[in-house]
Amino acid sequence: MGLFSSKKHYLNQVGFEQHQEPERPKRISTSAGNRLSIILENGSSESQAAKARESHRASVRKSGLSPILADVPEDRSASASATSSGYSYTVWSENEKFAALRNHKQIAKRGGRKRVLVILAMILLIIIALGVGLGLGLKKKKTDSSPSTSNPSSGTAEPAATDSATSPTSTSSSSSSSSSSSSSSPSQPSNFPLGTYSLVTFLDLAQTDCTSNPQTWSCYPYTTYYTTPSKSLATFDWTITGSKPSYKISSTSNPFSLTFQNAALTLVDENQPTERYRFQIPTTKTVVPATNLTSDNAAVECEFVGNLQANLYTKMKKEFPSEQDPSGDPEYTTWPFAVRIEQSAAGGDGVPNCYKTTGSGRRGESVEGLEGMGASTLCSCLYKNWHTPS
């Protein structure tokens, strides 16, 4: 009896423990059962992921990002398992996520290409400012170190005048000079210097030192410019022929008793401001004295052996006749440049040679009683169309 009761007590205890053992979930072999089992097994991991997403969204909201970017990318292992099971997938691919981040305003504002461009622009502005400042500094230094004029007596250097002080004056003077030069220097005639020209001049000087009687030497028109300008006009008509460099010059009829043919012209100071054609020939000047040299008041002529020389300038401007001077009514083309013509004779024994003339123009007996002057003395007639600077 006791054995039976103990055995019964044992069986009751074992049946109670079996009754208390928790009941295990049954696995369902259907596809729905498989999904349900996966969800049940991953319950703890899903809860942790949800908490992570919530914390991430809160931090993103504080930073000002859009809620669309607040989702935490799913764990790769979870995604892999979900993908392998065929029931879960992610909306963004990796490239789409990064593109969204790059194109977002806040991300672009906080860095990236715009920040790099701003930095490059600032560096470029600094380089330009440095270049401009350096250029201005070098220019100022060059101006400050402009050449200076030295004073030989003191041995010190005096600063040269700056361009700002001299430029207006020099510019105006040069412009006025060029305009004056262009207005007073006519162009050369065609075929210059060939042709017949009227050389309009004035009597500048009449010198009578070679003779003891000044009445024996005279210069047409017998009045100098400095005595009566309007009565000093003298015009020479000469003809230039030939070809370069063998030009020839000849006289025409004139009141000066100067006759010559084919005198050689020589070019002097070629390509210089004083360039000119020059000739010099021996001449004999015949003068009819304005006073009686004989006791019987016979007609007398005096001869002076000397030379004629002339300079016909090709660049130097003329100054005569001006507006207040007579034009001289030239018969030919007026020589457009400066002219200097001189007839001269030296003194000595038998200077001048004076003689009586007959009614037929023949030479008669010599006139005595004229005292000869020294060989260094000179008689001259000087004609010009420009004034000697005082």
Q: State yes or no: pLDDT of 76 exceeds 80.
A: no
Of residues 333 and 187, the one with the higher pLDDT is 333
Q: What pLDDT sits at residue 59?
A: 56
Q: State yes or no: pLDDT of 264 exceeds 80.
A: yes
Q: What pLDDT sits at residue 16?
A: 43
Distances (CA, A) of 376 to 207, 226, 250, 306, 373: 13, 26, 30, 13, 8
Task: For residue 288, give the nearest of 344, 209, 367 by alpha carbon.
Answer: 367
Q: Quick one: 339 exposed, middle or buried, by C-beta within 10 A (0-12, 13-18, 19+)? A: buried
What mean pLDDT comes out for the span 70-98? Answer: 45
pLDDT digits (tens, 9 = 90+) for 222-257: 999 999 998 999 999 999 999 999 999 999 988 777
Q: What pLDDT sits at residue 133?
A: 83
What mean pLDDT comes out for the span 186-203? Answer: 91
The pTM is what?
A: 0.54
pLDDT digits (tens, 9 = 90+) for 301-331: 999 999 999 999 999 999 999 888 888 789 9
Of residues 59 and 374, the one with the higher pLDDT is 374
pLDDT digits (tens, 9 = 90+) for 141-185: 655 554 443 333 333 333 333 333 333 333 344 344 433 443 445
What mean pLDDT comes out for the span 105-134? Answer: 78
Give CA 339 to chain center in angstroms: 38
Q: State yes or no: pLDDT of 187 exceeds 70.
A: yes
What mean pLDDT comes out for the span 368-386? Answer: 93
Q: State yes or no: pLDDT of 54 exceeds 90.
A: no
Q: What pLDDT sits at residue 378?
A: 97
The percentage of the chain sitting over the pLDDT mark of 90, rounded to a whole number, equals 41
What mean pLDDT comes out for the span 379-383? Answer: 97
What mean pLDDT comes out for the span 43-67? Answer: 54
**What is the Cα–Cα distance from 338 to 311, expressed in whole angstroms?**
8
Q: What pLDDT sits at residue 47?
A: 55
Q: What pLDDT sits at residue 147?
A: 42
Q: What pLDDT sits at residue 6?
A: 52
Q: How confident is the model at residue 281 (pLDDT cuts 50, 70, 90)?
A: very high
**What is the Cα–Cα distance from 240 to 262, expressed in whole angstroms?**
8
